[in-house]
Structure 1
């Protein structure tokens, strides 16, 4: 567990290389320059470091965003060393971000994530109660880092109104229609199942996508293409991703999409 980990803001020029250490270890790419990090924290941005004793083991990096109507905090990177992943530290980091963001005057936080990464999806939607609001096809173009190499960089845009949004009670997947059928591990989009008057839908993704991408790249590309089609239908027709329901016996996790004007009031205790 992550209870013994301390989390604090990084604010000085001397502290900026600490974030770079984790960034290089997680993504195996050149880190953001120190001068840019320092400028960010002095102009409405926020960098948090998580420490196991004196050793930094995770960071979050965010800067101000503006969409023409409102200012928000754009949480661009959350990096956690492998040993500390799946320990609850990610949730702690996001809640700590939200506390500081509130004190800084922000009301919303945004970020992007790969929709086929089930652990991130579960953290963002089910644990935090944030909303998957939009879909971006090949958002970052070609990337050669360890986590993205070889695959188009589709992303879901998260919007988190951290003082208002609450996690939904987990729905029963048997009660809803899936827009992707999976046979022997291979997905196939089912557009004939889509009816824009239906209030909710499911879209499955694999729970072991990293292994698929590493060992079966053509299958990984199929997952990207078939789920992209379903995600696009849903987001373009006013649905939001509101939860992820794991089904470990199938090695799948199911996105739960809800029509924006359909209100759910149940929350997780």
Structure 2
């Protein structure tokens, strides 16, 4: 088997098999209702503002967009929704992906999404993520090989779901360029872990759970994030706010000035190349 599309399909099938699930596109109203209920269990959103509605999933699927589910036997354990984005014929925007359990289901969903996009001639998938949630950063940058390309302060305005309530909705735009060599390697199970130069400087450090500003004058700058921002929001809202502001100031300013995020360290920090 050779070529990007067969290889992407094979990688997606292998990831699903490792996770013990079957991933497939969804088309029926009952399936969309199940995805709505799944997302409600995961995020426990404000009832007046769900992440997506059953009716919208139905319309998006019918119009040729991406709606999928991961099944363990007959039980839905994960779902993903994306829509075709600008520029036309190039990009899919992945609006929401979630799973009720770990075990590689999210990875299987993303590789299924990648194969779906490549089958339609698309070159990249984008999505937004909270720049403070370390496990999501690791998944996006290391497991998948996506690259942050834009810092978006207060992107969704006020959010009142159980995960984001009490914090501002800063997001980073991730761009997953589907045929880049490091992305292909990541899809095949080799995470993206670029080497950190010996002369890298700490732009933001984690000291006893608090952000401490450092230097941003080196070529490579490390920007730390908290170990568990979701717990911190509940136990120490002041520290959570300090982290939000510090990462916005350091990472946001570096990205706005043209610096490129090239990876994420095992210790929980963005690797930023100041020279792009």
The answer for the alignment partner of 2:111 in structure 1 is 95
5+ unaligned residues in a row in structure 2: which ranges? 1-16, 184-191
Matched residues in 1 for 2:159 and 2:167: separation? 8
TM-score, normalised relative to structure 1: 0.86
The answer for the alignment partner of 1:266 in structure 2 is none
Query: Pick from 213, 224, 228: which aligns with 2:244?
Result: 224
Query: Pick from 215, 231, 254: which aligns with 2:269?
Result: 254
Query: Pick from 97, 122, 133: which aligns with 1:78?
Result: 97
The answer for the alignment partner of 2:73 in structure 1 is 53
Matched residues in 2 for 1:41 and 1:19: separation? 13
Alignment of structure 1 residues 1-269 onto 2, 5 Å: 2-29=18-45, 30=47, 31=50, 32-67=52-87, 71-81=90-100, 84-85=101-102, 87-164=103-180, 166=182, 168-172=192-196, 175-190=199-214, 193-195=215-217, 198-247=218-267, 253-259=268-274, 261=276
Matched residues in 1 for 2:133 and 2:211: separation? 15
User: In the TM superposition, what whole-angstrom CA distance separates every residue of 1:190-249 from its partner, at most 9, and x where no partner exists?
Assistant: 3xx223xx43211011222211112111110000011110112210121222211122xx
5+ unaligned residues in a row in structure 1: which ranges? 248-252, 262-269
Tell me how far 1:91 sits from its aligned partner: 1.5
Q: CA contact under 8 A between 2:193 and 2:265: conserved in structure 1?
A: no
Residue correspondences, number: 248
Matched residues in 2 for 1:65 and 1:147: separation? 27
Classify the secondary structure of the residue corresponding to 1:206.
coil
The answer for the alignment partner of 2:9 in structure 1 is none
Q: CA contact under 8 A between 1:129 and 1:242: conserved in structure 2?
A: no
Q: CA contact under 8 A between 1:189 and 1:227: conserved in structure 2?
A: no
User: In the TM superposition, what whole-angstrom CA distance separates every residue of 1:134-191 from its partner, at most 9, and x where no partner exists?
Assistant: 000111110000111000010010011112251543324754111113332211233x
Matched residues in 2 for 1:105 and 1:61: separation? 18
Q: CA contact under 8 A between 2:35 and 2:69: conserved in structure 1?
A: yes
Which structure has more helix as a fraction of its residues?
A: 2
Tell me how far 1:93 sits from its aligned partner: 1.2
Matched residues in 2 for 1:47 and 1:2: separation? 21
